[in-house]
Structures are given as structure tokens and as C-alpha cells.
Structure 1
Amino acid sequence: MLCQVFPNNYQQQLDEKRQRLTSLIPSMADNLSVFASPPAHYRQRAEFRIWHTPERLFYAMFDPANPKQPVEVEACPMACEAIDQLMQPLLALISQNEVLKNGLFEIDFLATLSGEMLVTLIYRRKLDEQAWLQAAQGLREGLPINHLIGRSRKQKILLDQDFVIERLRADNQAWLFQQIENSFTQPNAQMAQNMLAWAREQSRKIVADQASDLLELYCGNGHFSIALADIFDKVLATEISKSSVKSAQFNLAQNQIENVTVVKMAAEEVALALQGQAFNRMADVDLNRYNFKTIFVDPPRSGLDDLTRGMAANYQHILYISCNPDTLARDLETLLQTHQIQAAALFDQFPYSHHLESGVWLTRKPA
């Protein structure tokens, strides 16, 4: 059923993912660490359609086999307990208020391990801002909600702010991360902490042999850059999304990190810049000051493009976080011609689905 969990079958589905990954990329099998998710209440983010009947409202999801028929969701044990416990009390109060109820199309939840809750109400109609703000204020006062947003086409109303601050931990350290509503965040926060810990473990091994600066592509909001900053001498992190770059800079300030520079550039542009092509966005960055021995990539599902894949092969060490084993396998066909796998990991970010995330540390083969 939609939004349900099956703890008794969790280990079996994890074993199947491991088999799928190692069948696709046999070279990962000997050095593979497997990180299991909590079997329930693992998502810090959830989105639900709201279905209206003459009698009531209900949360709805749609089965791909019958996409026109809504399936009522009374509870969602995939979601963290804070979201799961908030769902019905929230909808009950909304149902009693015409301003909040009329035209409501979707409710999105964003929660943190550190205890914040942000709820977004999305409408098919233009909102009366003052009436909605007054109603939303009363709604928030009666529920464990920190931040509330109203959205409709070309309209976004904030009760106060559009982000939460997450605190993620690894290696007895903690970092603060701004997570903006309607932007990408790691949905499984426990697994995100495992990913940080694994990346730190491999990075310490890298710098144990030789001091290194780090080049990171697709840095997002600085998730890995910030957690690895104390291991590398300097970090140059790049990201194409303007909002993610702004959030990364916010996060660097929150964590008082001064050895990371974030630049708004696509991975392909970074490759060209390293070949000597001038970019205005790199005007304040002296690439000659960096001693890059390590590159960190966390690309989208499409994986690395040809130019970036070729650039990565020039580095002594490659740390690759993948959200698509098929494109990772394709990229490794090239990278394993010059490099060998030292460590690999499977991160079960999305239990009970075909999705899996993985990590690989590669080092250049001896000449």
C-alpha cells in the first residue's frame, strides 16, 4: 500500500539492493559497506494531495497502476513520527476553517531531527493575504508547527520564514544546514548522517598520505563541503543553482567555516576553467593557490557528462556519490580504466523502493 512500511521484509529488500548493485558493478563487491535505514519513520519530508468530497477532506496518493483514482492515506509510517502524528490533527483544523480549506490542493511537510516543522499549504486559487495570514496564525498556535507557508500560482505567503535549520551529526561533530522549502534536501536524515560519516572516513585516509585541497562539483547547499572542510586544507565547491549557492553561503557562515569557497558554476564550466578558460564568476578565485589531489562529485541521476568524466580521471582521488547505479556503472566503465576502487558503500536512502544511493572512493592506478 502507498506510504506503508514492511519492517519484517526490510532486510530482504536491502539484500536485494545489494545484489542488484554488485551485479551491475561487480568491482564494488569486495569493498562494499551497507548502511541500513531505520525500517520505519525515516522520511523528514512528505507531500500529499488533498482530496475534497462533499463530506470531508482527506490526504491522497495515486497508485501508478491507476493514476486517476485517489487512495486515501490515513497515516504515513514512512514519514518521521513528527509528520505522521501531525497529519490528521492538522487536516481536522483546516477542515473547520473556510479560508484555509477553500481551494487547498496539497500539503507539504518538512521536518528536522532537531525538532523544527515547516508546513506548506498549496492552493488552486489566489489567496487573500491578510485573511490567510490571520487564519494561519491561529492554525500554528494550536499545533506543533514552527513555520507555515501559503502557496498558489505566482503567490507565496510566509508566516515568518521559508526554511528550517537541520543539525546533522557524524564523528562526534555537528553541523547546521539551512533547508529551504521547495528545494532539494536529503529526505532520510539518518542516512544523510551515515553518508557524511562515510565521506569523512575516506577523506581522512586520503589526506593521511598527502595533504590535499578538495574540488567539489554539484555541492548543493554545502552538505558535504561543510562536513569535509576540517579535513582538507581548502575546498572549492561549485553548484549551478543560484538558491543552493545562496544557502551554501548561509550554511558556511552558520558553521563559521572559512576555508570553503562556493562558486555558481556548472560542472562543464569548471572543467573549462581548469583548462584556462576565463569566467567572470571565477574572477576572485585564484586556481593557482589550490593543490587539488581530490575531486568530489555528487551528480544528478544523469551522472557525469563526458567532459566532467574526463576531468575527474585526472585526479589522484575521486569520491563519487551516486543516486543512480545505472549511470554510476556507465561512468565507472571509463574511470576504472585509470583508477581502482578502494572503498564503496550502499546507502538505503529510500527503503521499499527501487532507488538506492551509493558511494565510491577511487584512487589512480600505479603507473
Structure 2
Amino acid sequence: MLNSDFSPAAYLAQLNAKQARLEHLLCEFNAPKLQVFRSAEQNFRLRAEFRLWREDGQRHYAMMTPGDKRTPILIDNFPIASQLINTLMPRLKAAWDNNEALSDRLFQVEFLTTLSGEALITLCYHRPLDEAWHTAAEQLSQDLNASIVGRSRGKRTVIGRDYVVEKLEVAGRVFSYRQPEGAFTQPNGAMNVQMLNWAYDTLGEQNDDLLELYCGNGNFTLPLSTRVRKVLATEISKSSVNAALANLADNQIENIELVRLSAEELTQALNKVREFRRLANIDLDSYEFGTVFVDPPRAGMDQDTCELIRRFPRILYISCNPETLAENIRQLSDTHKITQTALFDQFPWTDHIESGVLLERKTN
């Protein structure tokens, strides 16, 4: 059992500390009142990854003690994970305990679940996967009603599908998302819904175009596309681009052009510094961008990308690192001011802060 204080009082104390930290970082920019979105205290996480640890002749789910790779924390259940993950954990353990083909040199297990009730389980091995494993994995997939992915020395075997399908409601419309095994997805599904609705409401109805950098699998792209004339979205990860293209087709959205470029490359293209074959069929001059939406990695945006987005009247920024968010806002603060702020408790029981800000061009 993972020991921690999951009491409401402990949660609220940590959330208040996060709010104070974010407000302190944004106070120099005269930010408006922070809108705070709190998470469920348990069963909020849709993904989980465990090492396996042998003790008393059995394999157990485990996580390593922070800073100590030799001291495991053995886990029977995982309160922060979804109810579905907690249901699957003992059933999967019973399966490998009773089947050598499943347990032989199994060293890691990953769960990916959805709010809509789908599950995918990745089993990682220090050996090639043979026919006996394949037969056992097919039975396991049926028993658990979950797709199974086996990984071994750079090879991958898929039983079922290598993705789950999530369904999220934004402003009364349900969007369908393919979430591939091994690709990034928002871990806190219910909080993701709140983030999507906040971004949708904050953007508002616009009669111009949207540029999105770091679009991932189209998580924000799909609902935001219904608020503008058309969208140009960029992403560098191949698996995320493929998932995003499938999501555009599945949701029958036709006003989005998706390009596999980094934010830095798109900056070069828009500044006419360099031409890219991947943009050969896209007329950049036909866009009338009024808003840029960014959801960068923890490092934030580089200086050139900050200078690029400065040219847009509205900047909608989702951040997973308040320190780099503040650095980026500081660079933009001479031309833009913050008009809306939000804290999304995407990662309860950690110090991580997910936030959103709307910056609008100053009029004087």
C-alpha cells in the first residue's frame, strides 16, 4: 500500500500553497484574480507506470524511493490512479502469478485508461516474446477487456489496439481522441475537461484564425477550432501528429491544417528565413491570425518563439512550469498584458502547477 495523507485538509493546504506561489510569480504583471480549478483527491490519474520487484518469490508492483533506486515502495493499490487501474492491478498480478509465459523476465507495467472506460496495458520484458507469450496475452486481453502491448528489446507486439479512445465534452459537444501507447496525454482526465472548457470560453468566438504551437494529439486543437475560421497547428512528435490527424478525421473537423514542425522551425517559416517542404501545400499568407495558442514543454518558449507570438493580438498560454511561464510573460509584458489567469490542479499531491493565462495586446 502506498502510504500518504489523502485527507481533504491535506489536499486543500497544498492547493492553497500552489495558489500562493502562482499569485506571487504573476503579481509583478498586475494579473487579475486567479481562477482555481481543484481536482478530485483520489482516483484522478488515468496513467500509471510501475517497476516490478521480486520478494518472497513473487513479483510486486513497486516504485523506487526518490533518490534511491535500490529501495522499493511495494504497492498493492494506488489511490491516486483511476478506479479502473485499481481494478486491473490485482487481476493482472494474479494472471502473471499463474502463468510463466506472462511473468518470465517481466520488469515493468504501464497502464493507460480513459474516462470513457477503455484500458491499455503495456508489459515490458528482458527477453524476446514467443508464441507462448502471445497465446497467454490474447487470453489476458479477453479476461481484462483491455488491449495488451508487449515490449522487448526494441520490438513491440500489439494484442487489440495500440491506442485507447477518450471522449471529452466541451461546451456541450463530445470530442473523440485517440491516445496512443507511449505518447503524451493529459494524466488527469477530469481536470483536462476543465482546462479545455476554460480555453474554449477564454478564446471566445472569433472571426479570424488561430495558430497553435505544440498541439500534441489535438487535445486543445479540436474544440478551439470551433471558435475560429481556421487553424494552423504544429507538432514535432511523429506519433502525436499521426494521432492528431486521426482525431481530425474521427471528429470530421475540416478547418485545421496540421504540420509536423517544431515551434522554432515555424518561426523561421513565418519570418521568411527558411522554406520547408512540409509547408509546400500551405499558403501562410492566406491566414489572418488573431490568436496564438501555446502549450510548451517545461522549458517554456525560446526567445525567438516569444518574439514571434508577440505579433499576435491574443496569446492563450497553457503552462506546466510557472517559473518559465513568468520568464516568458516578462519578455512579452511591454506589448501585452494579462487579462485572465487560471490554476488547474492537474497533479495533486505534487508540487507541480498547471496554469493558463490570456495575454492581450496593450492599446497604449
Q: TM-score range by the shorter chain?
A: over 0.9
**Which of 229, 237, 242 in structure 1 is aligned with 2:238?**
242
1:125: how far off? 1.3
**Which of 350, 353, 363 in structure 2 is aligned with 1:356?**
353
Structure 1 residues 5 and 219 mapped into 2: Cα distance closer, same or farther (>3 Å)? farther
Q: Give the counterpart letter for 2:169 in structure 1.
A: R
Show the counterpart of 1:300.
297
**TM-score if structure 2 supplies the norm length?**
0.96
Show the counterpart of 1:116.
118
Q: How big is each residue's C-alpha offset from its partner over 1:266-292, in whole Å with a ceiling of 9 and x where there is no partner?
A: 111111111123211110000121100
Q: Is the 8 A contact 1:3 1:76 kept in 2?
A: no
**Which of 73, 76, 80 in structure 2 is aligned with 1:74?**
76
Question: Map of 1:160-179 to 2, 5 A cutoff?
Answer: 160-179=160-179
1:29: how far off? 5.0
Show the counterpart of 2:90.
88
Structure 1 residues 14 and 63 mapped into 2: Cα distance closer, same or farther (>3 Å)? same
Show the counterpart of 1:131.
132
Q: Give the counterpart letter for 2:353 in structure 1.
A: L
1:94: how far off? 1.0
1:139: how far off? 1.6
CA distance in 1, matches of 2:135, 2:128: 16
Matched, 1:180 2:177: no
Query: Structure 1 stretches (4+) deviating beyond 4 angstroms?
Result: 1-5
Show the counterpart of 1:325.
322
Q: Is the 8 A contact 1:34 1:345 kept in 2?
A: yes
1:24: how far off? 1.6
**TM-score if structure 1 supplies the norm length?**
0.95
CA distance in 1, matches of 2:285, 2:137: 53
Q: Which moved more, 1:354-363 or 1:5-14?
A: 5-14
Matched, 1:309 2:306: yes
1:337: how far off? 1.2
Show the counterpart of 2:249.
253
Q: Which moved more, 1:357-366 or 1:7-16?
A: 7-16
CA distance in 1, matches of 2:149, 2:5: 29
Q: Which moved more, 1:176-185 or 1:54-63?
A: 54-63
Unaligned segments of structure 2, at least 5 residues: none
1:141: how far off? 2.5
Show the counterpart of 2:21.
20
Unaligned segments of structure 1, at least 5 residues: none
1:4: how far off? 4.4
CA distance in 2, matches of 1:314, 1:31: 26
Q: Give the counterpart letter for 2:350 in structure 1.
A: S
1:30: how far off? 2.5
Structure 1 residues 35 and 286 mapped into 2: Cα distance closer, same or farther (>3 Å)? same
1:255: how far off? 0.3
Matched, 1:334 2:331: yes
Q: 1:185 is paired with a residue of what secondary structure? A: coil
Q: 1:250 is paired with a residue of what secondary structure? A: helix
Q: Is the 8 A contact 1:37 1:349 kept in 2?
A: yes
Q: How big is each residue's C-alpha offset from its partner over 1:226-279, in whole Å with a ceiling of 9 and x where there is no partner?
A: 111111000000011111111110000000000000000111111111112321
Q: Give the counterpart letter for 2:23 in structure 1.
A: T
1:172: how far off? 1.3
Structure 1 residues 366 and 321 mapped into 2: Cα distance closer, same or farther (>3 Å)? same
Q: Is the 8 A contact 1:220 1:244 kept in 2?
A: yes
Q: Give the counterpart letter for 1:308 in structure 2.
A: T
1:66: how far off? 3.3
Q: Give the counterpart letter for 1:74 in structure 2.
A: D
Show the counterpart of 1:152.
152
Q: 1:60 is paired with a residue of what secondary structure? A: strand
Q: How many residues align?
A: 361
Q: Which moved more, 1:85-94 or 1:190-199?
A: 85-94
1:3: how far off? 7.1
Q: How big is each residue's C-alpha offset from its partner over 1:173-196, in whole Å with a ceiling of 9 and x where there is no partner?
A: 110111001110000000110110
CA distance in 2, matches of 1:226, 1:3: 39
Q: Is the 8 A contact 2:2 2:76 kept in 1?
A: no
1:146: how far off? 2.2
Show the counterpart of 2:223.
227
Q: 1:135 is paired with a residue of what secondary structure? A: helix
Q: Give the counterpart letter for 1:264 in structure 2.
A: R
Show the counterpart of 1:53.
55
